[in-house]
Amino acid sequence: MPVLRKPYLLYLGDAVLKSDCKTAFGLRDWCGQDVIGEWSHPAAQVSLGLPRLSPAEAARQGAGSIVVGVAPTGGLLPEHWQDDLEAALAAGLDAVSGLHTRLTSLPRLVHAAARSGTRLVDVRNPPGAIPVGSGRKRTGLRVLTVGTDCALGKKYTALALTRALQSKGVAATFRATGQTGIMIAGSGIPMDALVADFLAGGGEALSPDNDPAHWDVIEGQGSLLHPAYAAVTLGLLHGSQPDAIVLCHAPERVTIEEYPDYPIPPLPQVIDEYLRAGRLTNRNVRCVGISINSSILDDDGWRRYRAQIECQLQLPICDPMRGGVDAIAKALLAG
């Protein structure tokens, strides 16, 4: 896994919508200590509320990389964004991107990086030499966030759980498996971009042998219930060999998003599916809590919903954005 050079200068292009800047906001919120400032075109209407620094100024203040924190409409990188990235490379920063358009496919940037001895890092590119999964049990402890569906809080839950463990003095490392997660952590493996034969091997490489009391908190991907992506989920589950899982869910999801023919079964059944599959590589895997993305509920609704599923599942129920995940961290450590 290549390690990204921090701190970051976050680049917003000429973003108009906050929703196009999820990566930048995620980095600001989850690795703020590694972010030195923001830069954008005068036409941009989004700001992160960080110091505004040109690439040259950021380089003078010690920045390591400029990170593309915005998704361009249509997926292509406009010429005037390339001007800014070229200036950053010339100033000695690496350029980092999770976009579908690879930085390394843009001749201007390739030349600029070669001239200044800097790197173009496309975090969607999987590392080259991942071995096939060995199934060998590794030392150290692991918890994996899993979901009833995609995009409902697996990354945030893993980040919040890492912080909760660290705040209790427990050695814990967030292990990233998607683009934004990799930028936050500074390294990781983009599971969905691996060649299929190396999925479990990628999950193993992601969380190597560690101290017996150390927790790897692994960002989950996809869902075992998803007709398109369950294979990615299973490969990560098998390779992670988690001692524990945390199930992530959003109450308003009754079917898989964009797959209305695929209902989400009751949570006890979902937990059972994950534990059955996880037992192949770790017979003692257990579910230690449920992380709910409750943004659709008001305070009363959240209290009622939580009480109801707490009673049903007899597990700690948390929302990382609404009271944190301390109860799940406690259950994890109670072992």
Per CB under 8 A, does 16 bind its own copies?
no
Choice from 235, 251, 278, 316 touching its own copies (CB under 8 A): 235
Per CB under 8 A, does 197 bind its own copies?
yes
Per CB under 8 A, does 135 bind its own copies?
yes
Per CB under 8 A, does 238 bind its own copies?
yes
Q: Which is nearer to its own copies, 231 or 321 (CB)?
A: 231
> Shortest approach of its own copies to residue 295 CB, angstroms?
26
Question: Residue type for 102, please?
Answer: R
Per CB under 8 A, does 148 bind its own copies?
no
Per CB under 8 A, does 146 bind its own copies?
no
**75-83, 107-115, 223-231, 245-253 -> range binding its own copies (CB under 8 A):** 223-231
Identify the H or E element spanning 173. strand 172-175
Per CB under 8 A, does 191 bind its own copies?
yes
Burial of residue 310, with CB atoms counted within 10 A of its CB: 0-12 exposed, 13-18 middle, 19 or more buried: middle
Contact 292, 306 (CB under 8 A): yes
Q: How far is CA 143 from CA 157, 165, 237, 272, in A?
A: 11, 11, 10, 16
Residue 121, strand partner residues: 96
**2-10, 94-102, 104-112, 276-284 -> range binding its own copies (CB under 8 A):** 276-284
Q: Which residues contact 143 (CB under 8 A, 6 or more apart)?
A: 161, 215, 216, 217, 218, 242, 243, 244, 245, 246, 288, 332
Per CB under 8 A, does 230 bind its own copies?
yes
Tokens in use for 208?
């190597």
Per CB under 8 A, does 225 bind its own copies?
yes
Q: Which SS3 state, helix, strand or coil, does residue 95 take?
A: strand
Question: Residue type for 7, please?
Answer: P
Residues that bind its own copies (CB under 8 A): 132-137, 191-197, 199-201, 225, 227-232, 234-235, 238, 256, 259, 261-262, 273, 276, 280-281
